[in-house]
C-alpha cells in the first residue's frame, strides 16, 4: 500500500479505518484489528443452538474454531434510542430481509472479517468491504455525551465524501456476547494487600472512548480500592485537562504529579488517540514524569513497539484488570516513595 510508512511512525494521531457494509449502511473499524478478510463459506461453519442470538456458530479458521457473529443481527439488537444512531440502525433493519427471530441468514453474507480483540480471535459476517481510509483521529467525531453511553455500540463517526461511517465498538460487542473471559481477569477486593488502604489517595486518570469499558475499568479498579479515578471520553479531553493542570501546578510551584499519579489510556480514540496523548505527555518536561499505562485490545508486537516509541511506561491487553492494578501499585507507590 502506498505511503504505508506513515503509520509506522508513532504518535502521529493517524489511523487506518476499514469501511464495511451492512445492508447499505457504512460502518468502520480500525485496520489494526483485522487479521483476515475472507469469502464466507457456509461449509466451514458449525451452527450452535441455544447460544447468543447474534452467534451463527463456530468458523474453522486456520485449523482453529473461532466464534462467528452475524454483525447485522447484532446491530438490530442495539437498544440505544437516539436519532443519529437510530437512523443507522433503522437503515440496517429496514433493508434486512425478514427472518425468523434469532436465525442468522449467514448464507446471504459475502465476507467474513476475522479480528483479534483482547487476545482473542472472533469472526464477523458482513455484506461487503468498500476501502481503507487513512485519516487523522481529529477527523473522527466523538459521539455526543447523550449517545456515548454503555449501551451504545459506536464510539464515533467519520464523514467521507457524502457518506457517514459509524465507528463500531467491537470490544463492547465481543464483551457482551462472550463475557466469560472478563471474569478471568476480575479484581478481587483483597483488604489484606499492603497497598489496599493507600490506593484511594492516588489520583488516576483514565482516557477511554468506550463508555462501557470506562464503566468496567472504573468498577474493577474500585474493587481493588483505586476509587479516585477521573475519566475522559477521548485523548483530547485528557490532554486539555493535563494542560490546565500544568498551568495550575506552575502557578502553585508544585509538580504535576501532585495532581495526577498515573494515566491509563486506550489507544484508539476519536480526536486524539492514546499514542499521540502519551507522546505529548512524555515530550513535555512538565508532565513527562507522569507514568502512562497503555490499556488496549490492540496490543501486539507492532503496537508494543509504538508504545515504546512514545515512551509509555507500560502496556497491557484488555481485559487484564488484575494486572492493571499491579501496574498501578508499581507506579503510584513508587512515585510516593513506597516500594511496590
> Which pLDDT band, with edges at 50, 70 and 90, does 129 fall under?
very high
In this prediction, residue 147 carries a pLDDT of: 63
Site of grid cell 502553585: 252
Question: Which residues 6+ apart lie within 8 Å of 49 measured at CB?
Answer: none
Q: Which of 71-85, 244-258, 293-307 has the lowest mean pLDDT?
A: 71-85
Q: Which of 179, 158, 156, 159 shows the shortest CA–CA distance to 168?
A: 156
Q: What is the pLDDT of residue 31?
A: 92
Stronger pLDDT, 203 or 300, i.e. the higher one: 203
How many Cβ atoms sit within 10 Å of the Cβ of residue 339? 8
Reply yes or no on whether the pLDDT at 8 is more than 50: no
Q: Is the peptide bond before 319 cis (omega within 30 degrees of 0)?
A: yes
pTM of this prediction? 0.77
Averaged over 275-281, what is the pLDDT?
96
Q: What is the pLDDT of residue 102?
A: 35
**Whether the Cβ atoms of residue 67 and residue 55 lie closer than 8 Å to each other:** yes
**Eight-state DSSP code of residue 14:** E
- CB contact at 8 A, 298 and 171: no
State the number of CA atoms in the 13 A half-sphere of 32 facing the CB: 21
Domains of the chain, earliest start first: 4-177 (2.40.50.180), 181-335 (3.40.50.2300)
C-alpha cell at 297: 485490545
CA distance 161 to 83: 21
Strands 14-22 and 128-136: antiparallel
Q: What is the pLDDT of residue 234?
A: 93
Q: Is the pLDDT score of 335 beyond 70?
A: no
Q: Can you tell me the mean pLDDT for 236-257?
A: 96
Work out the average pLDDT over 120-130. 93
Using pLDDT thresholds of 50, 70 and 90, give the confidence band for residue 156.
Answer: confident
pLDDT per residue as tens digits for the range 76-104: 755 432 344 444 434 433 433 333 333 34
Q: What is the pLDDT of residue 7?
A: 45
For 19-28, the pLDDT digits (tens) are 999 988 899 9
**All cell numbers assigned to 323:** 494486572
Quick one: pLDDT at residue 286?
A: 96
- Nearby residues of 179 by Cβ (< 8 Å), 6 or more positions away: none
Give yes or no for residue 263 having a pLDDT over 90.
yes
Confidence of residue 298 (pLDDT cuts 50, 70, 90): confident
CA angle in degrees (0–180, nearest 5) for 116-118-124? 40
Q: Residue 109 — pLDDT band, cuts 50, 70, 90?
A: low
Q: Provide the pLDDT confidence category of residue 153 given band limits of 50, 70 and 90.
A: confident
d(CA 73, CA 234): 28
Mean model confidence pLDDT for the chain: 84
290 pLDDT band, cuts 50/70/90, is: very high
* 155 — pLDDT class (breaks 50, 70, 90): confident
**pLDDT above 90 coverage of the chain, percent:** 56
Output DSSP code: residue 97: P
Contact yes or no for 66/58 (Cβ under 8 A) = yes
Question: Which range has highest mean pLDDT (40-54, 110-124, 236-250)?
Answer: 236-250
Contact 288, 281 (CB under 8 A): yes
At residue 29, the 3 state secondary structure works out as strand
Across 123-142, average pLDDT: 92
Closest residue by Cα to residue 155 from 40, 18, 268, 13: 268
CA distances (Å), origin 132, targets 2, 60, 97: 12, 26, 28
Highest mean pLDDT among 108-112, 141-145, 221-225: 221-225
- Helix-strand-coil split of the chain, %, nearest 5: 35, 30, 35
3-state SS class at 160: strand
Q: Which residues share a beta bridge with 120?
A: 117
Nearest to 127 by CA among 100, 150, 107: 107
Amino acid at each position: 500500500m502506498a505511503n504505508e510508512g506513515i503509520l509506522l511512525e508513532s504518535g502521529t494521531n493517524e489511523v487506518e479505518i476499514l469501511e464495511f457494509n451492512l445492508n447499505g449502511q457504512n460502518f468502520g473499524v480500525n485496520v489494526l484489528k483485522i487479521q483476515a478478510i475472507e469469502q464466507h463459506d457456509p461449509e466451514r461453519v458449525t451452527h450452535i443452538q441455544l447460544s447468543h442470538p447474534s452467534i451463527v456458530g463456530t468458523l474453522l479458521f486456520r485449523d482453529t474454531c473461532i466464534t462467528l457473529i452475524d454483525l447485522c443481527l447484532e446491530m438490530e439488537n442495539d437498544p440505544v434510542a437516539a436519532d443519529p444512531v437510530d437512523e443507522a440502525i433503522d437503515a440496517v433493519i429496514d433493508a434486512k430481509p425478514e427472518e425468523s427471530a434469532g436465525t442468522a441468514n449467514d448464507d446471504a453474507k459475502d465476507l467474513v472479517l476475522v479480528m483479534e480483540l483482547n487476545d482473542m480471535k472472533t469472526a464477523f459476517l458482513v455484506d461487503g468491504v468498500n476501502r481503507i481510509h487513512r485519516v487523522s483521529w481529529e477527523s473522527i467525531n466523538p459521539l455526543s455525551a447523550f449517545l456515548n453511553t454503555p449501551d451504545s455500540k459506536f464510539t464515533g463517526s467519520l464523514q467521507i465524501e457524502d457518506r457517514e461511517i459509524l465507528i463500531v465498538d467491537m470490544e463492547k460487542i465481543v464483551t457482551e456476547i462472550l463475557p466469560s473471559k472478563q471474569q478471568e481477569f476480575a479484581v478481587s477486593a483483597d483488604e489484606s494487600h499492603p497497598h489496599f488502604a493507600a490506593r484511594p489517595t492516588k489520583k488516576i486518570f483514565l482516557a477511554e472512548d468506550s463508555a462501557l469499558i470506562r464503566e468496567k475499568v472504573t468498577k474493577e479498579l474500585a474493587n481493588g480500592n483505586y476509587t479516585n479515578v477521573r475519566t475522559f471520553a477521548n485523548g483530547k479531553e485528557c490532554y486539555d485537562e493535563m494542560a490546565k493542570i500544568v498551568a495550575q501546578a506552575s502557578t502553585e510551584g508544585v509538580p504535576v504529579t501532585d495532581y495526577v499519579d498515573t494515566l491509563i489510556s486506550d489507544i484508539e480514540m476519536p480526536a486524539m488517540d492514546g499514542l499521540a496523548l502519551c507522546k505529548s505527555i512524555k515530550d513535555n518536561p512538565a508532565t513527562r514524569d507522569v507514568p502512562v499505562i497503555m490499556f488496549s485490545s490492540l496490543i501486539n508486537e507492532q503496537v508494543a513497539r509504538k508504545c515504546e516509541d512514545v515512551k509509555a511506561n507500560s502496556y497491557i491487553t484488555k481485559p487484564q484488570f488484575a494486572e492493571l492494578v499491579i501496574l498501578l501499585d508499581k507506579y503510584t507507590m513508587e512515585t510516593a516513595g513506597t516500594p511496590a
